Structure 1
Amino acid sequence: MRIIVTGSSGWLGQRLSAALRAGGHRVTGLDMVAGPETQVLGSVANRSVVDRVFAFGADAVIHTAALHQPDLRKATARAFVDVNVTGTLNVLEAARAAGCTRAVLTSSTSLMIDAALASGRAEAAAFLDETHGPLTPRNIYGVTKLAAENLARLFAEGGMTVAALRLARFFPTDDPAIALIRGDNLKALEFLHRRLTVEDAVAVHIAALERAPQGYSTYIVSAPSPFSPDEAVELKRNAAAVIARHFPDAPDLFAARGWTLPRTIDRVYDSALVRRELGFAFTTDFATVLDAMRQDAPLPFAVPA
């Protein structure tokens, strides 16, 4: 298959392009930054650049290019609209003109978080699945990612099969908004409710490309959580106790590393639909992380040197 990958020099796009190529596909990459998987340099916000990459020929497109949450500190609202909205429209229009039948859009769980949930004032953890709504994103990043999803839905109504993947956290950098727990301690804990590895992020894009049903689909993508909605209040009030109930040796394993368990968890992303509908199996969850800790093995989310 001839596949266009936007954002092909990024943390996800470069690995995804390499995996697709290893699977026998012909991949053409587009990115503003040069890289080993990028053939065309430029922005998705520039329609002539997008047309140039599709001129290589395409049966499908995986659109990962975007401004992200960390860009809120340096990019203007207009830049977010130009890249995340206009850029998505450019990619989808070029894909349709090239005769592409399938598209996968990298979206974000961030668009599901409104100001009330972000404030942390709720008395119970929110369990979020694809039915959650109405969606009222709290910042320009979420607003533009939701707009991109809606554009993708319109193109699916026109006959293209499109899957939007709302990925939880998979980048190696810390969230600067979280100050109490950082680094590997934080990442390990996030596998309980809001993280996946970049390897699983790559694999789920390929699964969506191959198996997404005809029309438009949206999937939350986050490592399976051990928690259930009947634990929502306790998760908000005493998350460490809930974790210890599910994983009795977790407190000792964390303490041995000088790590801490969280006092509270405010949200849990439910990835049951992507596992059920696409048959997707995550390779890493919190139990996998604990297994590595018990064996003093490399953590499954460690960034290679």
Structure 2
Amino acid sequence: MPKGGTVAELGEFGLIRAVTENRRQPPTTLLGPGDDAAVVEAADGRVVASTDVLVEGVHFRLDWSTPEQVGRKAVAVNLADIAAMGAFPTSVLVGLACPAETDAGLVKRITEGMWAEASGAGAGLVGGDVVQADQLVLSITALGDLRGRPPVTRSGARPGDIVAVHGRLGWAAAGLAVLHRGFRSPVTVANAQRYPEPDYAAGPAAAVAGATAMIDVSDGLLADLGHIAEQSEVGIDVRTDLLEVSRRLVDVGTALGADPLHWVLTGGEDHALAAAFPPFADLPEGWRRIGAVTMPDSGLTVDGKPYAGETGWEHWRRPQ
């Protein structure tokens, strides 16, 4: 790929070649980029699919994040959804829209991050499309394999189940607060907003352990547990004494005049996993109990009481 230049100078097909050639694919990719469509192995007979759209200025900012971090985030938010179904990631399709004057090197660096995140999860970038647009937009579709097990949906939780989480909570929200204030440190907190680090194996492990319901925590712990409660027709109670509030988040909260527990309960974009398990299940490694599934008429509560305020992020929600 030539150094410098724009995507218009490189051209659509030159850009596609530049970001796909000489890349290794996993065994599940039977036919990768270069044809009308990819061919992906589906030995299970079923395919788990998820799509997300990331818009510059809404989901990422290039003055906050490196292009590689943007690429990693774009793929990670989709693969986390695959893991939340109890499936293993296999493939990623990429739609990229950008202005004609976009630096071709920028696009290459974004796709470097995509390749790194996908390959680390055992998946391949198998195809996609590039088009001209007024701003940078990334559309990602991820595919996964259940390997013979039923999917873990949001609708299977039962009263008496344990509620547990895997992964960090509140870090991305704290990172967003740090970056909005114009700071770039603590780096570990700021990086949590720049790109999540899901453990993709945690979802299949939960499925094997008998998880009755599961969700990717993208919009906030309470908001996403609310989806499980609604679709399972149960209540859920979260215990704050069981939540991990990192000392680093406490320090950032003190510096910014914010409540770190609020970040943990309502902050999105960490892409941790939350799940319900049978009462006497042995939780897989890395999973920790944070509450319980309660009776349908009990609603979503924190320490037995309704939570005051917004429970997480929702697009187009009108200000109160």
Q: Same fold (TM over 0.5)?
A: no
Which has the higher relative contact order, 1 or 2, with Cα contacts under 8 A spaced 6 or more apart? Answer: 2
Query: Structure 1 or 2: larger helix share?
Result: 1
Give me the TM-score of the superposition, normalised by structure 1: 0.28
Larger of the two Rg values belongs to structure? 2
Query: Structure 1 or 2: larger strand share?
Result: 2
Give me the TM-score of the superposition, normalised by structure 2: 0.27
